[in-house]
Amino acid sequence: MRKHFLFDPAYIPLNHGSFGTFPQEVRATLHEYQSLLESQPDTFIRYTYYPLLEKARAVTASLLNVPVQEVVFVPNATSGINTIIRGIEWEEGSVIVHFETVYGAIGKTVAYVVETTKVESEVIEARWPIEDDELVQQFEEAIMKVNNGGKRKVRLAIFDTISSMPGVRLPFERLIAKCKELNVLSLVDGAHGIGHLPLDLGSLKPDFFVSNLHKWLFVPRGACVLHVPAVNQHLIRSSLPTSFGFIPAPPKTLSSHSGKPKEIISPLPASAQPPFVAMFDYVGTIDNTNYLCVPSALSFRSTICGGEDKIMSYCRELALTGGNRAAEIMGTEVMDNSTHTLRDCAFAMVKLPLEIGEEKGMVKEEDKMGIAQWIARRAAEELHTFFAVVLYEKQWFWRVSAQIYLEVADVEWGARTLKGLCEKVSSGEWLTEGNSN
């Protein structure tokens, strides 16, 4: 499978989860649309683009099992979640809850709206590895604790399909159901979702859902699907940034001459889409041709790879087998719970053979924060790979990303290479090799 992708022959891609990639077949489609755009910019942007965008939205909606009118595209999951969180009109006493392991940019977005609006936030300090039952229980207890106080109410809960770090699967289906039971809006961060896990949003019915298309679906970056059911679309007044599709609530903007609401006319052709979709059809001038590549990506996955089920099965099995082998090579273990639900995905969190302490061979407390960055930079600049390493709960873990262009032997090579870097850390040699972090 590797021959279909664009990697340097010397490069071992072990970190698909951060930025994704796409095959040569999809790049050909991207270049075709970019050439059409540059050959006749006005014609393409004003007329050719919209039917192609609608086709891409339609196949994405079909994959998620939701109506096409509930699906729009944004550049990435962070943009999509910002659109939701900043779009909701927060009232006094409203609370957002999320787990401590929420993606960093989303955590900071919540901090920003807490700083600038009436909303408050509560963090659920769950610790992984954790059993699904316990996680759902902590989730419910955190919401009830806020609601039972009498003065505040949880209005929105944010949680992942698969968290970024640590890279483990959450019981998001049960969390969505719990939100419905407790009358809380659910915002599912599926950055690692579409193309990674089977998703039937028509059955799950989250209140808001975002998922990067460029991570696991082989769509050129950055591209993300934002799903907002029709019943909730009135809550999102604007795209981010606001586009010509926005419909102001009169009479906020008045003409100084007539005293009537000022009409802002779009320079683009009138949209035939519902108002919510029209807001996102064209949000400023950027290269949106990546959105149009969704059908090409799905065709590649179907005709070349054998379909979604085959891809997901291969990646999950590779993460299981490769993760276990990596732990064997390094003499450690893989993060998991007793029911193995955390590993029901294409990630494996493999513990590194490093410990914090003052004894010989251990990492001193004052040096701990520089380890992950030193390993990452050394691997990228000298070893033609990248290791996604994180310090979590005073232990270092390597997040292994399984993908169809990899085999177990690639993960084994990564484990041996990473073990060698860890030995340099334990000996203190890393401190003499120009560590600047």
From first to last of its 437 residues, what are the pLDDT tens digits of the chain? 999 999 999 999 999 999 999 999 999 999 999 999 999 999 999 999 999 999 999 999 999 999 999 999 999 999 999 999 999 999 999 999 999 999 999 999 999 999 999 999 999 999 999 999 999 999 999 999 999 988 899 999 999 999 999 999 999 999 999 999 999 999 999 999 999 999 999 999 999 999 999 999 999 999 999 999 999 999 999 999 999 888 888 665 555 566 566 677 788 878 888 899 999 999 989 999 999 999 999 999 999 999 999 999 999 999 999 999 999 999 999 999 999 999 999 999 999 999 998 888 888 888 888 888 899 999 999 999 999 999 999 999 999 999 999 999 999 999 999 999 999 999 888 877 655 44
CB 305 within 8 A of CB 404: yes
Determine the pLDDT at residue 434.
54
CB 346 within 8 A of CB 404: no
Q: Output phi, psi for 134, to 5 deg.
A: -65, -40
Closest Cα partner for 417 from 427, 409, 429? Answer: 409
CA 398 to CA 165: how far, in whole Å?
10
Determine the pLDDT at residue 255.
57
CB 337 within 8 A of CB 343: no
Q: For the chain, give the number of residues.
A: 437
Determine the pLDDT at residue 436.
45
Kindly report the pTM of this predicted structure: 0.93
Determine the pLDDT at residue 411.
98
How far is the CA of 177 from the CAs of 124, 171, 172, 316, 342, in angstroms? 18, 10, 9, 25, 19
